[in-house]
Structure 1
Amino acid sequence: MVNAARNESDVIFILLGFSDYPELQIPLFLLFLVIYMITVAGNLGMIVIIRINPKLHTPMYLFLSNLSFLDFCYSTVITPKLLQILVVEDRSMSFAPCITQYSFTVICVVTEAFLLAVMAYDRFVAICNPLLYIVVMSQKRCALLLTSVYTWGIISSSLFIYSLLILSFSGTNIINNFLCEYSAILSASISDTHVTEMIFFILANFDTFFTLIVVLTSYLSIFITVLKMHSASGRYKAFSTCASHLTAVTIFFGIILFLYCVPSSKSSWLLVRINTIFYTVVIPMLNPLIYSLRNKDVKETLKKVIEVPARWPSG
């Protein structure tokens, strides 16, 4: 730990981003700027809509507003730095900001994964045990679930960061990506990384597969329950309440699992960067669009908000 502290000031990370495609720097900057603006407006707008409509003060929308908050934070941690390295020549990042960015990224990713699992559990209770829904998903239970989700996100991040800070670092290091990520920081170490890699392996797999098991178990139970329904309209209504969440879950976990499977080779770096763009930049933009376009209550509230200025008297 002493060595790590002594060497931190000398450690520099160079974020390559998309520098190997110089002709695309400005178009990519404009594209990601538009995506970021939509992300901020979409997620903050979703939070405001849920807060101003008493009809949306239910567990499902409480979790959705927290998902929007996480997506806003997640995008804000990543995208501004991405925009910066697309337009400036100096792509360097010192040790402390790099570790800080990685820390907040882990908090957002882990918390969102567990929140999506909680949302799947919420849909399971609503469809499989509708008569007990108000009791099971009480305000106290929802608050406890949210507190647990955020707490575990912070604990996971702290353990990941601790596993890196026990190492010694030195010199200038190249990151063939646009953000500080685990493998790049680890490669800068001049220490034995066995313990750190073991901590990462255990935590990453626990977080990923535990949340996946909760999601898959919840939706398997939902699917079985819906198939037993005699009413076609009942089955359609049940599936429609899950459609938005299932779409968000499929995209989120699909991309993360795909990144797990990408081999570490030079030919795969572009693919890794593209997929990283999807789960760090694009998904935070897509989530509010997915939920607003497929949700009748949200669309009605949004329509009312848009119509209000039109009713104001001119002059």
Structure 2
Amino acid sequence: MNESRELQRNRRKPALAVDALEDRRVLSAGMGSTFAIVPGTVTTAGQASSVQVSLDSTHFTPGARGRITIGIDVAADPNASVKPIVSAVKGANGRGVSVQHSTYSKSLVKSQGMLSPQSSAVTTTVTVPKAGQAPASYKVDVKGQTTDTGAYLLGFYLPGDSNGDGIVDKTDLSTIASKFGQTSTDSGYAFDSDANRDGKIDAKDLRLAGQNVGAKTIISPVTSVNLDPASDAGISDRITNQRVVTFNGSASPDATVVFTEVNGNSPGATTTVGADGKYSINVQLGDGSNTFKVAATDSFGQTITGSIAAVTYSTNPPTVVNTVPTTKTA
């Protein structure tokens, strides 16, 4: 996967940030209702590959009657030829739960600028455990529609979350209703108002959104990492004489964030993201250049990884030198 850019998440709206982390905008072209992306691989033709995820009361709030409708996009990795489809969603007891299928139209893939031309989605309604109960685990089975094998990505989203704020409410219903009848070839079409991802906004989308009113998640599909300016001695060039530096960032609340130096030049560090989705971590530098791989793993089952720009430890970092201009006399 691409490790060239990072997306900073502020109320689920993507924007560029300072350091480079993995770009996860694959399934929905950066649309806001995707709250998690989990990779998998079909290794054997005709056999299912499974991805396991968990829902708990800390990070998910149900809608009506304690239930929540989850959407699952599946798309081939841009470098893979596999044509994946979600074949089943099963609970911890191994029993399948009801799913509704839809396939992305070619016009939808083209209009949304998606990286994978082979995309489909399912929606399923499940129960969120009450406070104090154990998380509910679900297994998503994926098969290839041909004999091709390869990597794929599952994108989990909240059907009805048309503005990408992580909650489905009456404002979302109004937005979807205002776009009723629009298709993916129309200028007024909005991907996140298309709750079932079938390329048209109709009564099915309003019904899905309506049954999901009140549903909420605080799981985030992006992680940010920024070197604290106070740790960057001298000029802002990521060269410092501080042996221990501080990084600040954001990720899913309660996620575990691990810093690992790729060449073993530093012992690295681990921290836990706060309930507000923010973290601060002190990391010891080794002599010279330090390139860190960062991994953030949340309770849902998502791990976001990527390398950030190197930070160099030097006893004599560059500094800004101010010189007083001289005045020539005639």
For the aligned pair, the TM-score class normalised by the smaller chain equals under 0.3
CA radius of gyration, larger in: 2
Q: TM-score, normalised by structure 2?
A: 0.24
Write 1 or 2 for the structure with the bigger share of helix. Answer: 1
